[in-house]
């Protein structure tokens, strides 16, 4: 199929939860996004992530030209558009899978049919049997 997202549960104390919620509010993102950012950073740096207070990061940034983790300003509209496009892509993948299942079902039905029951439209145009009339419908109607 494809990659599926997995759920990770975190258990934190109430004080740390409030701190994380404040961080999310400061950044104007959801609490889930805070955890996703942390997990993404952890994966991107092969588990070599150190959680430190922001004042230590600022001090390190002053002493070093490169800060860790690197920060990039992204407009909120860009993030929202990206999330919308991800949802739309997921919906289109689901529709594609549904269409593939439908086409497979039709092909199976066609393979199961007796070849004498199948009339090709191009055969009708050749005029081999001009006197024969054809009627579209099920065999129960005959």
Domain total for the chain?
Answer: 2
Give pTM, 2 decimals. Answer: 0.34
pLDDT in tens, 4-34: 777 777 788 888 888 888 888 888 888 888 8
CA-CA-CA-CA torsion for 11, 16, 18, 20, nearest 10 degrees? -80
- Tell me, yes or no, whether 68 and 79 share the same domain: no
- Tell me, yes or no, whether 17 and 53 share the same domain: yes
Residue 136 lies in a domain: no
User: CA-to-CA distance for 22 and 34, rounded, in angstroms?
Assistant: 11
- Tell me, yes or no, whether 91 and 44 share the same domain: no
- Please say whether the beta carbons of 30 and 21 come within 8 A: no
Residue 31 lies in a domain: yes
Which range marks the domain in which residue 40 is found?
Answer: 8-72
> Per mean pLDDT, which range of 63-67, 116-120, 121-125 is the poorest?
63-67
Q: Is the pLDDT of residue 93 over 70?
A: yes
């Amino acid at each position: 199929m494809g990659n599926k997202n997995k759920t990770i549960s975190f258990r934190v104390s109430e004080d740390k939860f409030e701190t994380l919620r404040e961080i999310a509010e400061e950044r104007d993102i959801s609490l889930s996004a805070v955890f996703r950012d942390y997990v993404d950073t952890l994966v991107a740096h092969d588990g070599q992530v150190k959680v430190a207070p922001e004042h230590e990061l600022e001090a390190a940034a002053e002493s070093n030209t490169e800060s860790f983790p690197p920060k990039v300003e992204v407009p909120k509209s860009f993030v929202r558009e990206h999330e919308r496009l991800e949802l739309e892509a997921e919906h289109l993948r689901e529709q594609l899978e549904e269409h593939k299942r439908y086409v497979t079902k039709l092909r199976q039905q066609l393979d199961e049919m007796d070849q004498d029951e199948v009339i090709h439209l191009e055969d009708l145009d050749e005029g081999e049997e001009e006197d024969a009339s054809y009627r579209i419908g099920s065999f129960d109607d005959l």
